[in-house]
Amino acid sequence: MPRESREAWKVYKNVFDEFTIRQLFKLMTQGVIEGLESPVKIGKEANVFTATRKDGSKAIVKIYRLHTCNFNKMYDYIKQDPRFANLKKKRREVIFAWVQREHRNLVKARAAGVRVPSVLASLHNIIVLEFIGDDTVSMQAKDDMPDDITKFYKETVAAMRKLHKAGIVHGDLSEFNILNYRGSPVFIDFSQSTMQDSPNYSELLERDVKNICRFFRKCGVKAQDDVVLNRILK
């Protein structure tokens, strides 16, 4: 094992369980990443890191925590998704399905023309994503208000409409899950996204609209829930 890998192993062993460490090293062996760099977000459900790649670029690595994830809550969401109708309520199976769901949702959103991070790889409880940003990762809209807020608002609603036309809803959209990249929105965190034939689709869409309108009204935009919803559904 190269010296760099031995040093990484020591660091990872203090942070992750043995299973997750093995998956990280598989991704390194496959050339997806060279190693983790620095934390972006540490949460109860998942840890998010920047990572280095062989070509000198960066990536984002989201690692779901196997032992502290609320898999019961995950299961309550995912069981309504027709794509996972046969999923058994077992911790690891639910978490792995959750990651695959995010992977598939991001691919579908990107195909619909919505600006989202591209998926570089996914493996069990880990998903590797395109790095959104220049020298540093782009900030959430809540912490980095765009100069042209009206343009940002219109682009956000247009992206929501594209998702709906593609038969998918984000399901957890807010200023926390939209990055401001060069003055335009990039949607992230698609693990709760579901398809139009899911029984809770309309509820999630209305919640997304409510959250988005609330945020933009705080920013001075005249965003009305019913107008935005009608625009998306039109």
- Residues whose CB falls within 8 Å of the CB of residue 177, separated by 6 or more in sequence, listed in order: 140, 170, 187, 188, 189
Examine the residue annotation and report whether 172 is marked as an active-site residue of this protein. Answer: yes
For the cut 90, the answer to whether the pLDDT of residue 179 exceeds it is: yes
As a whole number, mean pLDDT of residues 177-191 equals 97
Instruction: Point out the catalytic residue in the list 134, 189, 225, 226.
Output: 189
Give me the pLDDT at residue 127, please. 98
- Does the structural domain 3-130 have CATH classification 3.90.79.10? no
Q: Do 119 and 129 form a contact (C-beta atoms < 8 A)?
A: yes
For the cut 80, the answer to whether the pLDDT of residue 1 exceeds it is: no
Domain with CATH 3.30.200.20 in the chain: 3-130
As a whole number, mean pLDDT of residues 37-46 equals 87
Compute the mean pLDDT over every residue in the chain, rounded to the nearest whole number.
92
Instruction: Point out the catalytic residue in the list 81, 172, 225, 226.
Output: 172
Write the pLDDT tens digit of every residue in 42-97.
887 899 999 999 999 999 999 999 988 899 999 999 998 999 989 999 999 999 99
Give me the pLDDT at residue 216, please. 97
Examine the residue annotation and report whether 134 is marked as an active-site residue of this protein. Answer: no
Max CA pair span of the chain: 59
Give me the pLDDT at residue 17, please. 86
The CATH number, out of the four listed (3.40.50.150, 1.10.510.10, 1.10.1380.10, 2.40.30.10), of the domain defined by the range 149-233: 1.10.510.10
Closest CA to 43 of 60, 19, 62: 62
